[in-house]
């Protein structure tokens, strides 16, 4: 137990902070922070699998997150029959062309020996394939996007339960990671970082501009939910009576019936939003716990030891007969799949898919900061990093405002510097996170909870 | 006549914009490559450092304008560049002293330094936003056009007009001056040679008595000049918005890698490769073909390879292709 003391203390402090937010600001706010902390934790588990276990640097987290979000739209939204009628055949045809291209390129790669002829053949296949796709998809896309563009204008999804999309999101991200891994994993660490950063940008720009797929920057709103809706809760009698029971002390003090009704109504509205967020938190917590158990088991299994060996000395591991390339690819796919899962969870939590909001700052660099701050190679640390950094990210503005007011208390209200500082309070979050990273990198490079290697 | 029209059309919409955009990228790419070559890490704060230098130029421009100082038909911002460069170099040197030098002396792996540069990126971004805010700012003054489309049409009697914005001309001229001075310094002077020696083989350079502190100092000075000039030129041409500068880091990285990271000449050319790639692939050639083809063959589609939405994606795909087939860059081993 003693060896886990620092872990327990760190988590206790974190939860106390969230509860403090609940008491000082509001429970709804505290729960939104908690939900996002849990989602960030899933992302950091994914990034930690790659960076902590295997030392692979992946700056493409944004791309996998976006792909996970796309999966939610493609799986859970009801299909748009008019759009399918208008351009479905063309799109399926183009998909067929893509498959044919891949199959024929694989065939050429297998059957013909490495030569100039092979290169020309492959280039020819790609050019012809692209032309065919253009001819097929062009009119299809146009007619799909013309179907009620204000509301749909896309093919829609499969209309399946939204929880299923979490798994699909993980598979999507894993598939993308397979392709990227095949291309880029042989590169040196910093090249890999740049390459993944840019490839993620390509993925997001495709999602942003292919309107027939998921409406692009026009966003998809009103996604399904795995938990009840606030409106339904507010009219269901069991919920109202539950709220009444919970707040009976508060209600008793009020004398008149009509006033009591009003107060109860307000309480029910507040409670419904808290209840929904609690349900979400429960779902997310389940995911985090399952992932934590799996990753802990994996980390201390023979496989985990092998990964550490590869990370710490690639050449020695490969000399011992470990297939470094294969293991790197595997871990790249696994980590990315977890990030894709987190992306799907996030879109589910928000209830909307906004491709325009995927920016490398928020979805790649902040996640990396979380892993570094929390502790590389330690799953508890990574999760804690997700909590700490997200908490700071949200609460930085209030903290900064408090500090500014404290230090400029002697200045008059209209002082230009004070007004300017208060206006830019929200940018102090970048400053806090940046300084936090620099301090951690300098004085505690292993993170808050360092990696622990159990000798067996 | 039609042939001339077609050439002017291409010149106006692709070649001149690509030349000026390429120059802006090239300056950034040399900055990246220099840091990578001498200090040996990928600097993820590139875009924000350029933004930092530009911020001073913008603020000083506004200050000069309020004092009534201007630069005739040239933008006032050009006057402010020397001051902005000095501020930028001071900032970079202090960052190096407080942040990077610790890891350099400890000989940390490049990945750690890259991570540290992410921290620097956050801090720089915060400072910029706290000082100047996240808003879009235009600070171009003076003459806007050197050649207007209507004037050109009157002069030549052609159907197509040629527009040359003064910012485009300034960008190209300033880039040529800055880059040639830099190459002269790197190749012809003793200090420049010592820098290159340090970049090629640190141990041998130290053995032959090169002072590493001086090399690092010089690298930051040159980097400061390149970053500020590149940033100001971009800001004059488009506008100054901190977020855009952060995003510009991506094509700049692409240019540096396409040209072979660590090789300044490669980075310079890489900037143009990326810019021309982006613009040539996303330009709609319909009008061009209507001029050069006989009427019966006129195209009815836009003749565009990719929509302009994918402008950035083109440069990144270029990078992926280069990484796949020539990871050390297409200008490998090219030297002046």
Strand partners, B137: B240
> Could you tell me if residue B292 is inside a domain?
yes
DSSP letter assigned to residue A351 = T
Displacement of CA A440 from its chain's centroid (Å) = 24
The share of chain B scoring above pLDDT 70, in percent, equals 99
- Provide the CATH number for the domain around residue B13: 1.10.3470
Residues B280-317: b if buried by 16+ CB within 10 A, e if exposed: ebbbebebbebbeeeeeeeeeeeeeeeeeebbbbbbbb
H-helix or E-strand spanning residue A362:
none
Best to test chain B binding among A441, A442, A445, A446 (most B CBs inside 10 Å): A441
Is the predicted pLDDT of residue A345 greater than 70, yes or no?
yes
Model pLDDT, residue A2: 64
Q: Which residues does A contribute to its contact with B (CB < 8 Å)?
A: 57, 183-184, 187, 189-191, 193-195, 197-199, 201-202, 205-206, 208-209, 361, 365, 368-369, 372, 421, 423-424, 427-431, 433-435, 437-438, 441-442, 445
E strands in B103-258: 145-147, 164-165
Q: Domain count of chain B? A: 1
For residue B165, the SS3 value is: strand
Report CB contact under 8 Å: B320, A434. Answer: no
> Could you tell me if residue B330 is inside a domain?
no
Indicate the pLDDT class of residue B30, thresholds 50, 70 and 90: very high
> Could you tell me if residue B182 is inside a domain?
yes
Is the predicted pLDDT of residue A90 greater than 80, yes or no?
yes
The share of chain A scoring above pLDDT 90, in percent, equals 33
pLDDT in tens, A193-250: 888 998 899 999 999 988 888 888 888 888 888 888 888 888 888 888 888 888 777 7
Report domain A2-79+156-443's class: mainly alpha
Model pLDDT, residue B220: 95
pLDDT in tens, B266-280: 999 999 999 999 999
Q: Which residue of A has its CA nearest to B308?
A: A209
Distance in Å, alpha carbon of A118 to nearest chain B alpha carbon: 15
Indicate the pLDDT class of residue A446, thresholds 50, 70 and 90: confident
> Could you tell me if residue B333 is inside a domain?
no
Displacement of CA B118 from its chain's centroid (Å) = 20
Q: Phi and psi of B165, rounded to 5°?
A: -75, 145
Question: What's the whole-number mean pLDDT along residues A75-87?
Answer: 85
Model pLDDT, residue A156: 79
Indicate the pLDDT class of residue A106, thresholds 50, 70 and 90: confident
Is the predicted pLDDT of residue B296 greater than 80, yes or no?
no
Question: What's the whole-number mean pLDDT along residues A311-321?
Answer: 89
List the single residue in B122, B130, B319 with the smallest CB-CB distance to A437. Answer: B122
Distance in Å, alpha carbon of A183 to nearest chain B alpha carbon: 7
| Cα–Cα distance, B316 to B270 (Å, whole number) | 13
pLDDT in tens, A270-305: 888 889 999 999 999 999 999 999 999 998 899 988
- For tokens 């001073």, the residue is B56
Range of the domain at B27: 2-325
Yes or no: say if B61 and B77 are a contact pair by the CB < 8 Å rule: yes
Report which of residues B284 and B332 the model is more confident about. Answer: B284
Report CB contact under 8 Å: B129, A427. Answer: yes
For A27-38, the DSSP string reads HHHHHHHHHHHH
Model pLDDT, residue A1: 57
The complex's ipTM works out to 0.88
Model pLDDT, residue A409: 82
Give the list of residues 6+ apart from residue B11 with CB closer than 8 angstroms, or none: B162
Burial class (CB in 10 A: 0-12, 13-18, 19+), A221: exposed
Strand partners, B147: B164
Model pLDDT, residue A455: 62
- Name the least confident of A31-35, A73-77, A109-113, A305-309: A109-113
Best to test chain A binding among B28, B32, B36, B42 (most A CBs inside 10 Å): B42
Q: Which residue of B has its CA nearest to A183?
A: B324
> Could you tell me if residue B94 is inside a domain?
yes
Question: What's the whole-number mean pLDDT along residues B223-247?
Answer: 92
- Kindly report the CA angle at A14 between A8 and A19, in degrees rounded to 5? 120
For B43-57, the DSSP string reads -TTHHHHHHHHHHHH
Is the predicted pLDDT of residue B172 greater than 90, yes or no?
yes
């Amino acid at each position: 137990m003693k060896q886990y003391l620092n872990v327990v203390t760190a988590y206790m402090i974190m939860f106390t902070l969230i509860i403090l937010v609940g008491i000082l600001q509001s429970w709804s706010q505290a729960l939104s922070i908690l939900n996002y902390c849990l989602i960030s934790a899933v992302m950091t588990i994914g990034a930690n699998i790659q960076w902590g276990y295997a030392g692979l640097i992946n700056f493409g987290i944004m791309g996998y997150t976006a792909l996970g979000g796309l999966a939610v739209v493609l799986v859970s939204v009801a299909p748009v029959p008019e759009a399918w009628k208008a351009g479905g055949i063309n799109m399926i045809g183009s998909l067929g062309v893509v498959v044919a291209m891949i199959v024929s390129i694989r065939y050429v790669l297998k059957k013909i020996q490495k030569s100039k002829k092979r290169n020309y053949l492959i280039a020819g296949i790609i050019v012809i394939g692209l032309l065919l796709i253009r001819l097929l998809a062009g009119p299809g896309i146009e007619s799909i996007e013309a179907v009620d563009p204000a509301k749909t204008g896309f093919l829609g999804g499969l209309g399946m339960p939204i929880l299923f999309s979490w798994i699909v999101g993980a598979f999507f991200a894993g598939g993308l990671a397979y392709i990227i891994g095949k291309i880029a994993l042989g590169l040196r660490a910093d090249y890999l970082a740049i390459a993944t950063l840019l490839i993620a940008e390509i993925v997001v720009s495709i999602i942003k501009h292919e309107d027939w797929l998921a409406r692009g920057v026009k966003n998809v709103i009103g996604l399904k939910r795995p938990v009840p809706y606030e409106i339904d809760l507010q009219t269901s009698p069991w919920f109202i009576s539950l709220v009444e029971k919970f707040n009976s002390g508060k209600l008793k003090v009020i004398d008149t019936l009509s006033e009591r009704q009003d107060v109860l109504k307000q309480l029910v509205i507040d409670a419904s939003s808290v209840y929904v967020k609690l349900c979400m938190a429960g779902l997310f917590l389940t995911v985090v716990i399952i992932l934590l158990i799996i990753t802990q088991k994996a980390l201390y299994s023979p496989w985990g030891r092998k990964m550490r060996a590869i990370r710490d000395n690639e050449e020695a591991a490969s000399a011992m007969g470990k297939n470094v390339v294969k293991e790197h690819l595997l871990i790249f796919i696994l980590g990315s799949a977890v990030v894709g899962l987190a992306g799907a969870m996030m879109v589910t939590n928000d209830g909307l898919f906004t491709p325009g909001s995927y920016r490398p700052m928020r979805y790649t660099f902040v996640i990396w900061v979380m892993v570094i701050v929390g502790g590389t190679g330690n799953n508890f640390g990574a999760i804690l990093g997700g909590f700490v950094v997200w908490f700071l990210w949200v609460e930085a503005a209030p903290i900064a405002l408090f500090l500014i007011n404290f230090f400029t208390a002697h200045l008059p209200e209209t002082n230009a510097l004070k007004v300017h500082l208060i206006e830019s309070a929200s940018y102090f979050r970048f400053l806090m996170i940046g300084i936090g990273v620099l301090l951690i990198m300098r004085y505690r490079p292993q993170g808050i909870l360092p990696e622990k290697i159990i000798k067996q | 006549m039609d042939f001339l029209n077609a050439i002017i059309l291409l010149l106006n919409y692709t070649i001149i914009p690509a030349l000026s955009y390429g120059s802006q990228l090239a300056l950034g790419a040399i900055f990246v490559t220099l840091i990578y070559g001498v200090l040996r890490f990928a600097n993820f704060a590139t875009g924000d450092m350029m933004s930092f230098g530009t911020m001073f130029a913008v603020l000083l421009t506004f200050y000069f304008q309020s004092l009534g100082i201007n630069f005739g038909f040239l933008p006032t911002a050009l006057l402010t560049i020397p001051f902005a460069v000095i501020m930028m170099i001071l900032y970079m040197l202090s960052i190096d002293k407080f942040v990077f030098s610790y890891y350099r002396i400890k000989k940390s792996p490049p990945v750690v330094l890259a991570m540290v540069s992410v921290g620097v990126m956050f801090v720089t971004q915060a400072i910029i936003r706290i000082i100047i805010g996240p808003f879009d700012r235009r600070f171009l003054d003076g003459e806007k056009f050197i050649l207007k489309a209507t004037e050109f049409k009157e002069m030549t009697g052609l159907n197509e007009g040629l527009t040359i914005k003064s910012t485009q001309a300034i960008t190209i001229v300033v880039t040529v001056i800055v880059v040639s001075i830099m190459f002269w310094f790197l190749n012809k002077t003793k200090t420049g040679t010592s820098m290159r020696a340090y970049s090629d083989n640190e141990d041998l350079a130290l053995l032959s008595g090169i002072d590493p502190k001086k090399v690092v100092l010089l690298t930051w000075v040159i980097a400061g000049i390149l970053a500020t000039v590149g940033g100001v030129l971009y800001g004059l041409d488009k506008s100054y918005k901190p977020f855009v500068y952060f995003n510009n880091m991506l094509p700049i990285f692409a240019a540096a890698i396409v040209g072979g990271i660590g090789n300044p000449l490669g980075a310079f050319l890489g900037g143009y490769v990326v810019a021309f790639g982006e613009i040539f692939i996303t330009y709609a050639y319909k009008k061009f073909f209507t001029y050069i083809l006989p009427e019966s063959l006129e195209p009815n589609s836009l003749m565009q390879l990719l929509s302009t939405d994918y402008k950035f994606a083109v440069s990144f795909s270029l990078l992926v292709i280069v990484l796949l087939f020539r990871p050390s860059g297409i200008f490998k081993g090219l030297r002046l």
